[in-house]
Homo-oligomer: A and B are copies of this chain.
Amino acid sequence: MSDMTSTADAPRSPGRPRSIRADEAIIEATLDLLAEGSTVEALSIEAIATRAGVGKATIYRRWPGKDALLLDALRRLKGILPQPAGHSVRDDLVLLVGAVGQHIDPRAAKIMPCLVPEVNRRPDHFQLYQNIIEPRRQLMREVLRRGIRTGELRADLDVEVTMALLTGPILMQRILRWHPELDDGILPEKVVDGVLDGIRAR
Protein backbone atom coordinates (compact mmCIF):
# COMPACT_ATOMS: atom_id res chain seq x y z
CA MET A 1 0.00 0.00 0.00
CA SER A 2 0.99 3.61 -0.09
CA ASP A 3 0.43 6.11 2.68
CA MET A 4 -3.17 5.18 3.32
CA THR A 5 -4.44 6.00 6.79
CA SER A 6 -2.85 3.51 9.09
CA THR A 7 -5.66 1.58 10.73
CA ALA A 8 -3.43 0.38 13.52
CA ASP A 9 -2.71 2.54 16.57
CA ALA A 10 -4.79 5.70 16.18
CA PRO A 11 -3.24 8.77 17.80
CA ARG A 12 -5.72 10.47 15.51
CA SER A 13 -3.96 13.17 13.56
CA PRO A 14 -5.62 16.56 13.72
CA GLY A 15 -7.48 18.20 10.90
CA ARG A 16 -10.10 16.93 8.56
CA PRO A 17 -9.81 13.19 8.05
CA ARG A 18 -9.48 11.81 4.58
CA SER A 19 -12.68 10.93 2.84
CA ILE A 20 -13.25 7.21 2.49
CA ARG A 21 -15.72 7.97 -0.24
CA ALA A 22 -12.92 9.62 -2.22
CA ASP A 23 -10.69 6.58 -1.74
CA GLU A 24 -13.39 4.34 -3.09
CA ALA A 25 -14.38 6.67 -5.92
CA ILE A 26 -10.80 6.92 -7.18
CA ILE A 27 -10.26 3.18 -7.20
CA GLU A 28 -13.62 2.56 -8.82
CA ALA A 29 -13.02 5.19 -11.49
CA THR A 30 -9.67 3.62 -12.28
CA LEU A 31 -11.17 0.18 -12.72
CA ASP A 32 -14.10 1.54 -14.71
CA LEU A 33 -11.85 3.36 -17.15
CA LEU A 34 -9.71 0.28 -17.61
CA ALA A 35 -12.75 -1.89 -18.13
CA GLU A 36 -14.01 0.52 -20.78
CA GLY A 37 -10.98 -0.25 -22.87
CA SER A 38 -8.40 2.28 -21.81
CA THR A 39 -4.91 0.91 -21.80
CA VAL A 40 -2.72 1.33 -18.81
CA GLU A 41 -0.62 4.10 -20.26
CA ALA A 42 -3.57 5.81 -21.89
CA LEU A 43 -4.96 6.13 -18.40
CA SER A 44 -4.45 9.67 -17.18
CA ILE A 45 -4.66 10.94 -13.66
CA GLU A 46 -6.81 13.75 -14.92
CA ALA A 47 -9.31 11.37 -16.47
CA ILE A 48 -9.47 9.37 -13.26
CA ALA A 49 -10.00 12.50 -11.21
CA THR A 50 -12.77 13.74 -13.48
CA ARG A 51 -14.48 10.38 -13.53
CA ALA A 52 -14.27 10.05 -9.77
CA GLY A 53 -15.54 13.59 -9.21
CA VAL A 54 -12.35 14.33 -7.36
CA GLY A 55 -9.56 16.89 -7.58
CA LYS A 56 -6.21 15.80 -8.92
CA ALA A 57 -4.57 16.84 -5.67
CA THR A 58 -6.75 14.37 -3.81
CA ILE A 59 -5.18 11.62 -5.84
CA TYR A 60 -1.63 12.88 -5.50
CA ARG A 61 -2.17 13.19 -1.78
CA ARG A 62 -2.68 9.41 -1.63
CA TRP A 63 -0.45 7.94 -4.28
CA PRO A 64 2.89 9.15 -5.62
CA GLY A 65 1.91 8.41 -9.20
CA LYS A 66 -0.11 6.39 -11.65
CA ASP A 67 1.74 3.12 -11.05
CA ALA A 68 1.13 3.04 -7.32
CA LEU A 69 -2.53 3.82 -7.82
CA LEU A 70 -2.79 1.12 -10.40
CA LEU A 71 -1.25 -1.50 -8.16
CA ASP A 72 -3.69 -0.68 -5.40
CA ALA A 73 -6.62 -0.75 -7.79
CA LEU A 74 -5.72 -4.11 -9.27
CA ARG A 75 -5.56 -5.67 -5.85
CA ARG A 76 -9.31 -5.14 -5.63
CA LEU A 77 -9.95 -7.42 -8.55
CA LYS A 78 -9.04 -10.60 -6.76
CA GLY A 79 -12.24 -12.53 -6.44
CA ILE A 80 -13.22 -15.26 -4.06
CA LEU A 81 -11.68 -18.68 -4.38
CA PRO A 82 -13.87 -21.43 -5.78
CA GLN A 83 -14.60 -24.28 -3.40
CA PRO A 84 -14.02 -27.71 -4.91
CA ALA A 85 -16.48 -30.26 -3.54
CA GLY A 86 -13.78 -32.85 -3.03
CA HIS A 87 -15.69 -35.86 -4.32
CA SER A 88 -14.76 -36.38 -7.95
CA VAL A 89 -11.44 -35.10 -9.22
CA ARG A 90 -12.98 -34.62 -12.61
CA ASP A 91 -15.80 -32.43 -11.27
CA ASP A 92 -13.41 -30.42 -9.12
CA LEU A 93 -11.19 -29.79 -12.13
CA VAL A 94 -14.15 -28.68 -14.23
CA LEU A 95 -15.03 -26.20 -11.50
CA LEU A 96 -11.49 -24.88 -11.16
CA VAL A 97 -10.81 -24.72 -14.87
CA GLY A 98 -14.10 -22.92 -15.39
CA ALA A 99 -13.03 -20.39 -12.78
CA VAL A 100 -9.72 -19.70 -14.50
CA GLY A 101 -9.55 -16.08 -15.55
CA GLN A 102 -12.88 -15.46 -13.89
CA HIS A 103 -12.93 -12.91 -11.11
CA ILE A 104 -15.75 -11.74 -8.94
CA ASP A 105 -15.63 -8.38 -10.62
CA PRO A 106 -17.02 -8.55 -14.16
CA ARG A 107 -14.74 -5.71 -15.15
CA ALA A 108 -11.77 -7.98 -14.59
CA ALA A 109 -12.45 -9.86 -17.80
CA LYS A 110 -12.10 -6.64 -19.79
CA ILE A 111 -9.11 -5.44 -17.83
CA MET A 112 -6.95 -8.54 -17.93
CA PRO A 113 -5.97 -8.36 -21.59
CA CYS A 114 -4.94 -4.73 -21.20
CA LEU A 115 -2.47 -5.74 -18.54
CA VAL A 116 -0.58 -8.25 -20.61
CA PRO A 117 2.01 -5.77 -21.87
CA GLU A 118 2.52 -4.33 -18.39
CA VAL A 119 2.95 -7.72 -16.85
CA ASN A 120 5.58 -8.47 -19.42
CA ARG A 121 7.47 -5.24 -18.96
CA ARG A 122 7.36 -4.60 -15.26
CA PRO A 123 8.57 -7.22 -12.80
CA ASP A 124 6.51 -5.80 -9.94
CA HIS A 125 3.31 -6.07 -11.95
CA PHE A 126 4.30 -9.57 -12.90
CA GLN A 127 4.79 -10.38 -9.25
CA LEU A 128 1.44 -8.88 -8.29
CA TYR A 129 -0.26 -10.93 -10.95
CA GLN A 130 1.43 -14.08 -9.77
CA ASN A 131 0.51 -13.38 -6.18
CA ILE A 132 -3.13 -12.99 -7.08
CA ILE A 133 -3.39 -16.24 -8.99
CA GLU A 134 -1.09 -18.32 -6.83
CA PRO A 135 -3.82 -19.38 -4.37
CA ARG A 136 -5.93 -20.64 -7.25
CA ARG A 137 -3.00 -22.54 -8.64
CA GLN A 138 -2.36 -24.06 -5.26
CA LEU A 139 -5.96 -25.20 -5.16
CA MET A 140 -5.65 -26.96 -8.48
CA ARG A 141 -2.32 -28.42 -7.47
CA GLU A 142 -3.92 -30.01 -4.43
CA VAL A 143 -6.77 -31.48 -6.44
CA LEU A 144 -4.26 -33.04 -8.82
CA ARG A 145 -2.18 -34.45 -5.97
CA ARG A 146 -5.30 -35.84 -4.38
CA GLY A 147 -6.15 -37.50 -7.67
CA ILE A 148 -2.73 -39.09 -7.74
CA ARG A 149 -3.12 -40.31 -4.16
CA THR A 150 -6.56 -41.78 -4.73
CA GLY A 151 -5.46 -43.43 -7.93
CA GLU A 152 -7.80 -41.43 -10.12
CA LEU A 153 -4.78 -39.93 -11.86
CA ARG A 154 -1.57 -41.48 -13.09
CA ALA A 155 1.17 -41.78 -10.50
CA ASP A 156 3.87 -40.38 -12.79
CA LEU A 157 1.92 -37.19 -13.44
CA ASP A 158 3.84 -33.94 -13.90
CA VAL A 159 1.62 -31.62 -11.90
CA GLU A 160 2.99 -28.37 -13.26
CA VAL A 161 2.72 -29.40 -16.88
CA THR A 162 -0.77 -30.69 -16.25
CA MET A 163 -1.83 -27.35 -14.85
CA ALA A 164 -0.50 -25.67 -17.95
CA LEU A 165 -2.50 -28.12 -20.06
CA LEU A 166 -5.67 -27.35 -18.14
CA THR A 167 -5.45 -23.58 -17.81
CA GLY A 168 -3.67 -22.59 -21.01
CA PRO A 169 -6.48 -23.30 -23.46
CA ILE A 170 -9.07 -21.57 -21.30
CA LEU A 171 -6.97 -18.48 -20.77
CA MET A 172 -6.12 -18.09 -24.44
CA GLN A 173 -9.80 -18.31 -25.18
CA ARG A 174 -10.88 -15.90 -22.45
CA ILE A 175 -8.15 -13.36 -23.08
CA LEU A 176 -7.83 -13.48 -26.84
CA ARG A 177 -10.75 -15.50 -28.19
CA TRP A 178 -7.93 -17.38 -29.87
CA HIS A 179 -10.22 -19.90 -31.51
CA PRO A 180 -13.22 -17.80 -32.47
CA GLU A 181 -15.37 -20.80 -33.30
CA LEU A 182 -15.11 -22.42 -29.90
CA ASP A 183 -18.00 -22.22 -27.46
CA ASP A 184 -16.76 -20.78 -24.19
CA GLY A 185 -19.54 -22.27 -22.13
CA ILE A 186 -18.74 -25.94 -22.48
CA LEU A 187 -15.05 -25.47 -23.10
CA PRO A 188 -13.95 -26.12 -19.50
CA GLU A 189 -15.71 -29.46 -19.51
CA LYS A 190 -14.26 -30.39 -22.88
CA VAL A 191 -10.77 -29.37 -21.86
CA VAL A 192 -10.87 -31.33 -18.63
CA ASP A 193 -12.25 -34.41 -20.30
CA GLY A 194 -9.77 -34.14 -23.12
CA VAL A 195 -6.84 -33.86 -20.78
CA LEU A 196 -8.24 -36.38 -18.29
CA ASP A 197 -8.34 -39.14 -20.81
CA GLY A 198 -4.63 -38.63 -21.03
CA ILE A 199 -3.71 -38.41 -17.42
CA ARG A 200 -6.26 -40.76 -15.90
CA ALA A 201 -4.71 -43.86 -14.41
CA ARG A 202 -5.53 -47.09 -16.18
> Mind listing 15 A-B residue pairs with CB under 8 Å?
A37-B121, A41-B41, A113-B116, A114-B120, A116-B176, A158-B194, A161-B182, A162-B194, A164-B182, A167-B169, A168-B169, A171-B178, A194-B195, A194-B199, A197-B199
Residues in B with CB closer than 8 Å to A170 are 168
The answer, yes or no, to whether A190 is at the interface (CB within 8 Å) is yes
Interface string of A41-67 (1 = CB under 8 A from B): 110000000000000000000000000
Chain A interface residue count, CB cutoff 8 Å, equals 44
- A198 an interface residue at 8 Å Cβ cutoff? yes
Q: So how many copies of this chain end up in the complex? A: 2
Q: Does A103 contact B (CB under 8 A)?
A: no
Is residue A187 within 8 Å, beta carbon to beta carbon, of the partner chain? yes
Within A133-192, the residues touching B (CB, 8 Å) are 158, 160-165, 167-173, 175-182, 187, 190-191
Q: Determine the distance from Cα of A126 to Cα of B179 in the docked complex, in whole angstroms.
A: 11
Q: Complex formed: what's the CA distance from A123 to B113 in Å?
A: 15
